[in-house]
Amino acid sequence: MIRIEAVTKRYPDGTVAVDRLSLDIPDRAITVLVGPSGCGKTTTLRMINRMVEPSEGRILIDGVDSRQQPVNTLRRSMGYVIQNAGLFQHRTIVDNIATVPRLLGWGKSKSRDRARELMERVGLDPALAGRYPYQLSGGQQQRVGVARALAADPPVLLMDEPFSAVDPVVRKGLQDELLRLQDELGKTIVFVTHDIDEAVKLGTMVAVLRTGGRLAQYAPPAELLSAPADAFVEDFLGADRGIRRLSFFPSAGLDLLTGPVVRADAGAGEITARDTGGAPWLLVTDADGRPLGWTEPGTLAAGPADPARLLSYGRPFVAGRDSLRAALDCAVLSPTGWAVAVDEEGRVTGVVSQQAIGDAIRAAHATGRGSDGTPDGTSESVCDPAHGDRTPKAAR
Residues that bind ligand ATP (CB under 6 A): 11, 13, 15, 17, 37-43, 194
Contacts of 311 by beta carbon, 8 Å cutoff, 6+ apart: 281, 293, 294, 295, 335, 336
> Which of 8, 42, 55, 299 is in the footprint of Mg ion by CB under 5 A?
42
Beta carbon nearer to ligand ATP, 2 or 93: 2
DSSP-based three-state secondary structure for 257: strand
Give the number of other Cβ atoms within 10 Å of residue 381's Cβ: 25
* Shortest spacing between CB 333 and Mg ion, in angstroms: 38
* Shortest spacing between CB 41 and Mg ion, in angstroms: 5
Beta carbon nearer to ligand ATP, 46 or 274: 46
Beta carbon nearer to Mg ion, 42 or 69: 42
Beta carbon nearer to Mg ion, 162 or 250: 162
Q: Report the distance separating Cα 149 and Cα 130, nearest Å.
A: 19
**Part in contact with Mg ion (CB under 5 A); list of ranges 16-24, 42-50, 58-66, 210-218:** 42-50
Interaction pattern, residues 328-347, with Mg ion; x per rule: CB under 5 A = --------------------
Which of Mg ion, ligand ATP, none interacts with 40 (beta carbon under 5 to 8 A by kind)? ligand ATP
Beta carbon nearer to Mg ion, 93 or 199: 199
User: Which bin fits 261, alpha (ψ -120 to 50), beta or left (φ > 0)?
Assistant: beta
Cα–Cα distances in Å, from 175 out to 13, 151, 391?
37, 19, 11
Cα–Cα distances in Å, from 281 out to 13, 294, 314?
70, 6, 14
Q: Which of 266, 338, 345, 331 is nearest to 304 (CA)?
A: 266
Interaction pattern, residues 198-237, with Mg ion; x per rule: CB under 5 A = ----------------------------------------
* Residues forming the site for Mg ion (CB under 5 A): 42
